[in-house]
Structure 1
Amino acid sequence: MKFTQMTLAAVAAIVSGFLSLDASAHALWLENDAKAVKLYFGEYSENLRETSPGRLDGIVEPTAVVIDATGKESPVKPIRENGYFAIPGSTTGNAVLVQALKQPIREPQGENPAPVSKRFLYARFGKGGSLPLDIENTGNLLRLSFMGKPAAKTEVIIIAPNGWEKHLTTDEKGEVSFSLPESGLYVIEAKYELRNPGEFEGKAYAIESHKVTFSIYK
């Protein structure tokens, strides 16, 4: 998987201040094994799930909300296991929203490094509630939003159970039609970047990098 790299000058050239980049590479996603919902980190398309000790430890203090059938939201603290985070109180029929907001600053790498970025990772399973960068579906329509507003002309990647990927682009309303051809778990990814300089844990950054996944079983 490759990250799209851009210079600060290229970022400044985007009038809107937003960038829609390659949504591939590592992400968080949720799976329901019929007993509970579990949070994974890795690359679903490559069947790669990071472990602890290891890169799973790089996910810092994720928070989660479990939403029951009545719409009641209950904050919970994910529990780090060897190969995933267990989501307490999550059962079949619950929706789960996860946010990992305390991720370390991404340092520039290579001869032509990308701008220093601060990562914000999200994952959704089921309907209800909202995330800063969110994917929701109605029938065969996906809707991508950022801070409650449509994320137009942004790439969305649908990853099938066998690792097959389909790349789509949202319209002006932040919407795109989709279909799921086979049974199993689909993970839908989207990434949105914002030029919003700041500082985190004493380190400056130029870009906010937001990534979300939406898990759907067919």
Structure 2
Amino acid sequence: MKKITFLALTLLLSFVTTSIFAHALWIETAASGKVGQKQTVKVFYGEYVANERDSVAKWYSDVKEFSLWLVGPDQKKTQLTLTPGANHFEGTFTPDQNGAYTVVVSHEARELGGTTKYHFLSSADVIVGKALPAAVQNPNVLKLHVEGASAAKINKPLQLKAFLNDAAAKGKTVSVFSPNGWSRELTTDDNGAAEFTPLWKGRYVVEVSDMDKTPGQHNGKDYKATWKGATYSFEIN
């Protein structure tokens, strides 16, 4: 009986851990904007590939207490005010100059998942006028950048790059989620790069993760590893 109970508990913990790993935080905003025109930014939590956007009340731990930051063409970093919705948070900003803007989230969940700390990261770019966003504009410790995302077309290859601590993240698994539920896994090369060809119009979310097995303490509790998950969102019209 004890063996059965232990097995059931093990399976339950495995399911909970898998569910947390499957969930991600991502940003949705228009890929382009105009000077003097308000830009809306929405942040969701759930499983994009399954078109599941969790209600804010069900977000894991204190993830709903994240901060949303805007990095402008001048590299100035500004925190955006957030308004909660049923299944997302919404913020706005008004571009005051042409150039590339990046909205970013970096949030370590207060609660541990067993002995693992969870760090959710996300970013998206907004182009005002003619500009090319650069990965260096994103201050997150783990990040993705899709080359030429603002001008992406279906049936044309796109290259993405993953960075960890501002260095190329080689050998990392990157998941690509399409707007119709199709997904694909890629592996980054020595330069942190990978390539895929979008086949449908709509919003794509790409995600990279990293497991750091350096132990430490978080909010007074010991952990054995830190899981980081970073998403990048862009739209193909």
The TM-score bracket by the shorter chain reads 0.7 to 0.9
* Letter paired with 1:129: N
Normalised to the residue count of structure 2, the TM-score between the two structures is 0.72
TM-superposed deviation, 1:94:
4.2
* Partner SS, residue 181 of structure 1: coil
| Aligned partners of 1:141 and 1:175 also within 8 Å | yes
State the match for 1:13 in structure 2: none
State the match for 2:124 in structure 1: 125
Aligned residues: 191
TM-superposed deviation, 1:205:
0.5
Q: What does residue range 38-53 of structure 1 map to in structure 2 within 5 Å?
A: 38-53=42-57
TM-superposed deviation, 1:73:
2.6
State the match for 1:8 in structure 2: none
Normalised to the residue count of structure 1, the TM-score between the two structures is 0.78
State the match for 2:215 in structure 1: 197
Structure 1's unaligned 5+ residue stretches are: 6-20, 108-115
CA RMSD of aligned residues (A): 2.7
Call closer, same or farther: CA 1:197–1:24 in 2, change over 3 Å.
closer
* Partner SS, residue 131 of structure 1: coil
TM-superposed deviation, 1:197:
0.4
Structure 2's unaligned 5+ residue stretches are: 1-13, 34-38, 126-132, 149-157
State the match for 2:195 in structure 1: 177
Alpha-carbon distance between aligned partners in 2 of 1:79 and 1:119, rounded to the nearest angstrom: 24
Alpha-carbon distance between aligned partners in 2 of 1:214 and 1:41, rounded to the nearest angstrom: 13
* Partner SS, residue 53 of structure 1: helix
| Aligned partners of 2:61 and 2:111 also within 8 Å | no
* Letter paired with 2:26: W
TM-superposed deviation, 1:40:
0.1
1:134 aligns with 2:143: yes
| Aligned partners of 2:61 and 2:109 also within 8 Å | no
Q: What does residue range 103-118 of structure 1 map to in structure 2 within 5 Å?
A: 103-107=110-114, 116-118=115-117
**Equivalent residue in structure 2 for 1:55, among 59, 62, 67:** 59
State the match for 2:130 in structure 1: none
TM-superposed deviation, 1:49:
0.6
1:163 aligns with 2:181: yes
Identity %: 24
Alpha-carbon distance between aligned partners in 1 of 2:90 and 2:43, rounded to the nearest angstrom: 6
TM-superposed deviation, 1:69:
4.8
Call closer, same or farther: CA 1:90–1:142 in 2, change over 3 Å.
farther
**Equivalent residue in structure 2 for 1:100, among 91, 107, 110:** 107
TM-superposed deviation, 1:89:
2.2
TM-superposed deviation, 1:24:
5.9
* Letter paired with 1:175: A
Relative to its length, the structure with more helix (as a share) is: 2
* Letter paired with 2:48: Y
| Aligned partners of 2:110 and 2:219 also within 8 Å | no
Between 1 and 2, higher relative CO (CA 8 Å, sep ≥ 6) is seen in 1
